[in-house]
Amino acid sequence: MKEEIPNELQIYISGLNEITKNLWEIVEDKQNPKITTRDRIYVLSLLMQSYSKRMEMLIGGPESELNATKHMKSIRDLESNPILSVRYATD
> Tens digit of pLDDT for each residue in 21-69?
999 999 999 999 999 999 999 999 999 998 888 887 777 655 666 666 6
How far is 11 from 72, CA to CA, in rounded Å? 16
CA–CA distance from 89 to each of 4, 61, 83 (Å)? 14, 29, 10
Q: Structure pTM? A: 0.59
Provide the pLDDT for residue 59.
Answer: 74
DSSP the chain: -TTHHHHHHHHHHHHHHHHHHHHHHHHH--S-TTS-HHHHHHHHHHHHHHHHHHHHHHH--TT-TT-HHHHHHHHHHHHH-HHHHHHHHH-
Instruction: Name the band, by pLDDT with cuts 50, 70 and 90, for residue 10.
Output: confident
pLDDT value at residue 87: 52
Cα separation of 62 and 69, whole Å?
9
